[in-house]
Structure 1
Amino acid sequence: MAPYSIISNIHPYHKDNYLTKVSILHNTYFHSSSKILDTLPRDGLPEICFVGRSNVGKSTAINKITNRKKLAFSSKTPGRTRLINMFNVIEQKKHSTIGYLVDLPGYGYANLSNQEKINFEKVLTKYVQYRKTLVGIVLLIDMRRGITPLDDDFLNLVTLKPIIIILTKADKLSYSERIIRKSITTEKLTKFKNIRNIIEFSAAKKIGILEVSDIIEKLIKQ
Structure 2
Amino acid sequence: MSSSAINLQKATFTISAPDIRSLPAEGGIEVAFAGRSNAGKSSALNTLTRQKSLARTSKTPGRTQLINVFEIAENKRLVDLPGYGFAKVPLEMKKKWQKALGEYLQKRESLKGLVVLMDIRHPLKDLDMDLIQWAADSGLPVLALLTKADKLKQGKRNSEVLQVRKTLAALDADIQVMAFSSLKRTGVEQANNVICQWFEDDITEDESEGEIEA
Code of the aligned partner of 2:142: I
Relative contact order higher in (CA < 8 Å, ≥ 6 apart): 1
C-alpha displacement of 1:22 = 9.8
Q: What is the TM-score with the length of structure 2 in the denominator?
A: 0.83
The 3-state SS of whatever aligns with 1:216 is helix
Look up the equivalent residue of 2:159 and give its one-letter code.
I
Q: Specify the SS of the correspondent of 2:143.
A: strand
**Counterpart among 88, 105, 110 of residue 111 in structure 1:** 88
Q: Does 2:62 match 1:79?
A: yes
Q: TM-score normalized by structure 1? A: 0.80
Cα separation, 1, equivalents of 2:111 and 2:18: 17
Would the aligned equivalents of 1:167 and 1:200 in 2 still touch at CA under 8 Å?
yes
On the 8 A contact 1:52/1:106 being kept in 2, the answer is yes
Q: Which runs of 4+ in 1 moved over 4 A?
A: none
Amino acid aligned to 1:137: L
Kindly provide the CA deviation profile for residues 130-159 of structure 1, in whole angstroms up to 9, marking residues without a partner as x: 211000000011111121122112223332
Query: Which residue of structure 1 aligns with residue 42 of structure 2?
Result: 59
Instruction: Give the deviation of 1:129 after TM superposition.
Output: 2.1
1:171 aligns with 2:150: yes
Cα displacement (A) at 1:170: 1.2
RMSD of aligned Cα (Å): 2.3
Higher helix content, 1 or 2 = 2
* Correspondence for 2:183 among 200, 204, 215: 204
Q: Hey, what does 1:185 align to over in structure 2? A: 164
Shift of 1:109: 5.4
Change (3 A) 1:172 1:48: same
Shift of residue 44 of structure 1?
0.5
Asked whether the 8 Å contact 1:31–1:86 carries over to 2, the reply is yes
Identity within the alignment, %: 36
TM-aligned CA deviation for residue 115 of structure 1: 3.7
Distance in 1, matches of 2:94 and 2:77, equals: 26
**Partner amino acid for 1:35?**
P
**Which of 110, 114, 127 pairs up with 1:150?**
127
Tell me how far apart the structure 2 counterparts of residues 169 and 180 of structure 1 sit (CA, whole Å): 15
Give the AA of the match of 1:148.
K
Partners of 1:169 and 1:44 lie apart in 2 by 34
C-alpha separation in 2, matches of 1:81 and 1:143: 20
